[in-house]
Amino acid sequence: MNDPVLQAEGLVRSYGKTQALRGLSVTIASGEIVAVSGPSGCGKSTLLHCLAGIIVPDSGAVRYRGQPLGEMSEKQRSRLRRTSFGVLFQFGQLVAELPAVDNVGLPLLLGGYQKRIADSKSLEWLQRLGVAEVASALPSEMSGGQAQRVALARAMVTEPEVLFADEPTGALDSLAGEQVLEVLTSHARQRNMTVVLVTHDAKVAAYADREVLLRDGAQLAAEVPA
Ligand SMILES: Nc1ncnc2c1ncn2[C@@H]1O[C@H](COP(=O)(O)OP(=O)(O)OP(=O)(O)O)[C@@H](O)[C@H]1O
């Protein structure tokens, strides 16, 4: 395996009495596209959120390039999410008051880019994902599928080292879903971007290099190539 980018060891995470992760370990190499799959409620999103440092496991550790996330301050973790990680949540989470072009450009503005450059990179990504026509639309004026593609553009625009995507094609019909996955995976392969893709759909998992199958908060079996 190439250099590991992310190593999770013995992750346990509960919500009240529900144990979402039960001692899960997984290693993700640089440039790998990994699908995390399994039935609803098996802990996929919880694993993604632990790997991205959005939530902290009750026990176990996640290391990013050897550095335990648990030993970073919240400020350091959020800086890491802004600079090295791109996160696409299951429900896009666009800013309701901003048109698509500004939603996508937001992480660039926060990273110190000039508005003019942020706008042009944002439009480039909207075009690549086939939603340039909604550039000036507010999220409330978009279809669910358009909003999801805009949210993906926002996660990709900073060219993150690792992209975490939770059901990135959940709101898309199958043709649009294939187009988005094609753009996402070909870009990742060109740029050696690591992708962690949560999905319950075998057709989506087939775009990955490797599949991590979960059942009830644990890995089902030896990892299988997708
Ligand atoms: N914020 C929360 N509060 C309480 N229980 C939660 C919370 N988030 C997740 N859970 C529970 O933890 C378990 C794992 O949830 P998780 O969302 O990680 O699974 P998932 O595989 O991503 O599911 P889905 O495919 O339906 O999105 C489930 O039983 C879920 O009900």
Looking from the CA of residue 21, the nearest atom of ligand 1 is: 14
In this prediction, residue 212 has a pLDDT band, given cuts at 50, 70 and 90, of very high
CA distance 82 to 158: 8
Predicted ipTM beyond 0.85: yes
Looking from the CA of residue 217, the nearest atom of ligand 1 is: 14
Higher pLDDT, 125 or 145: 125
Q: Is the CB of 128 under 6 A from ligand 1?
A: no
Q: Is the CB of 199 under 6 A from ligand 1?
A: no
- pLDDT (tens digit, 9 = 90+) per residue, 126-140? 999 999 999 999 999
- pLDDT (tens digit, 9 = 90+) per residue, 48-97? 999 999 899 999 999 999 999 989 888 888 888 888 999 888 776 899 99
User: Is 193:161 a contact under the CB 8 Å cutoff?
Assistant: yes
User: Is 12:60 a contact under the CB 8 Å cutoff?
Assistant: yes
Q: Does pLDDT of 19 surpass 60?
A: yes
Distance 124 CA to ligand 1 centre (A): 35
Nearest to 217 by CA among 3, 61, 23, 53: 23
Q: Is the CB of 204 under 6 A from ligand 1?
A: no
* Chain center to CA of 133: 24
Q: Does pLDDT of 7 surpass 90?
A: yes
- Rounded to 5°, angle at Cα 160 from 87 and 202: 55
DSSP 139: G
- Residue 169 confidence (pLDDT): 86
Nearest to 5 by CA among 226, 198, 194: 194
Q: Does pLDDT of 223 surpass 60?
A: no
